Amino acid sequence: MAKKTSKAPARRRKAPSRSPTSGARPKLLSGGNPQIAKADGDEAVAAYLTAMPGWKRDVGERLDALVCRHVPGVRKAVRWNSPFWGIEGRGWFMSLHCLTRYVKVAFFAGTSLDPLPPEESKNPGTRYVHLFEGEPLDERRLASWIRQAAALPGSDCF
Residues in the chain: 158
60-90 residue pLDDT tens: 999 999 999 999 999 999 999 999 999 999 9
The CATH number of 27-151 is: 3.90.1150.200
Is pLDDT larger for residue 123 or for residue 27?
A: 123
Work out the average pLDDT over 91-106. Answer: 96
Q: Give me the pLDDT at residue 157, please.
A: 56
Q: pTM score, two decimals? A: 0.81
Work out the average pLDDT over 96-103. Answer: 95
For 96, counting Cβ atoms within 10 Å of its Cβ (0-12 exposed, 13-18 middle, 19+ buried), the class is buried
Query: How far is it, in rounded angstroms, from Cα 148 to Cα 13?
Result: 39
DSSP 8-state class, residue 73: T
